[in-house]
Amino acid sequence: MPQPAISAKGLRRTFGELIAVAGLDLEVQAGEIFGLVGPDGAGKTTTMRMLTGILPPSAGSAEVAGHDVARNPDGLKEHIGYMSQRFGLYPDLTVIENIDFYADIYGVPSSERVARTERLLGFSNLTPFKHRQAGNLSGGMKQKLGLACALIHTPRVLFLDEPTNGVDPVSRRDFWRILYQLVREGVTLFVSTAYLDEAERCNRLALLHQGKLVGLGTPEEVKRLMPGTLLEVRTSAPRRTALLLRNHLKDATVGLFGDRVHVAAHDAAATEAQTRQLIADAGFELISLQPIEPSLEDVFVSVIANREEAAHAN
């Protein structure tokens, strides 16, 4: 069996009394898009910084591209690319000067530099802007430039920490188109995101909550972690309906998604009957009430709610 591109066993990081990552076990295969999903403070960035050799783990071990992240962080760096949330672009340098700067850092030979730079510029559609200062680029173009800089040394594994955070939807789509092309060329991608629609694009996912792994598998496998049935409720007053149901459906998880209320119920028939009665008593118009397939966001909300409920019970 081929060696995993990333392997972590019991990976843990503490900061004083704070447990940022609590015993993480995972494997990522070569050529995979692996998503690390969770809200702010879940431990995504800390995990990524340990896997890239920037932050030593407090306990446990990890290997990336065949290198131990704690024992050989310097040997690891030539085989990986890392694009942090605040990637270090220099606003007063042009696009091509930024790429050249990172080529110097990674020791890219001058004989290969021009060809690699031109390819990355074309790959990211930045060729028309190569002489523009980075500080004058749009948010989406800055992310593409950050990606080009992280790829200049042709890494085997690429770490991207919330790469599309704050980027407009069109630029997010373009960015993912580039990522798919990288995977076709054999690069392994480890992507953290708080966007659940982006998580659907990954081959496999790890759900993190308060530093703990709460789900692992393909998007479809993770969706099956949600117990019971998901009901979608549409009324004339969605916000007030969500508040009403949260206050009265004690055995269900209620979430508001735009103009629709999602209710995760263990007993679908009883919950549906109670929901209909509550809405009628409140005088809201019931437009529709039906079972639906859960999204990753539904699953995440439900899993977190169940864990918090169990913690409070203990």
289-311 pLDDT per residue, tens: 999 988 888 888 777 777 666 55
Q: Tell me the residue ranges of DSSP E strands in 106-251.
A: 157-161, 188-193, 204-209, 212-217, 229-235
* Residue 223, token pair as written in the block: 């969706």
Q: Does domain 229-293 have CATH number 3.40.640.10?
A: no
pLDDT at residue 12 in the model: 97
Q: Does domain 6-223 have CATH number 3.40.50.300?
A: yes
Determine the Cα–Cα distance for residues 34 and 8; give it in Å rounded to an integer. 13
Determine the Cα–Cα distance for residues 211 and 264; give it in Å rounded to an integer. 24
The DSSP symbol for 94 reads B
Instruction: Give 16's contacts (C-beta < 8 A, 6+ positions apart).
Output: none
Determine the Cα–Cα distance for residues 233 and 257; give it in Å rounded to an integer. 10
Give residue for tokens 């790959």: 123
Low-confidence ranges of the chain (pLDDT < 50): none
* Residue type present at position 194: A
Which residue in 234, 233, 231, 229 sits closest to 267, CA to CA?
Answer: 229
Which residue in 21, 28, 79 sits closest to 209, CA to CA?
Answer: 21
Q: 244-289: per-residue pLDDT in tens?
A: 999 999 888 898 988 999 998 889 999 999 999 999 999 999 999 9
Order of strands across the sheet that contains 18-28: 18-28, 6-15, 59-64, 67-68
Domain ranges of the chain: 6-223, 229-293
CB 169 within 8 A of CB 93: no
Coil vs helix vs strand at 261: strand
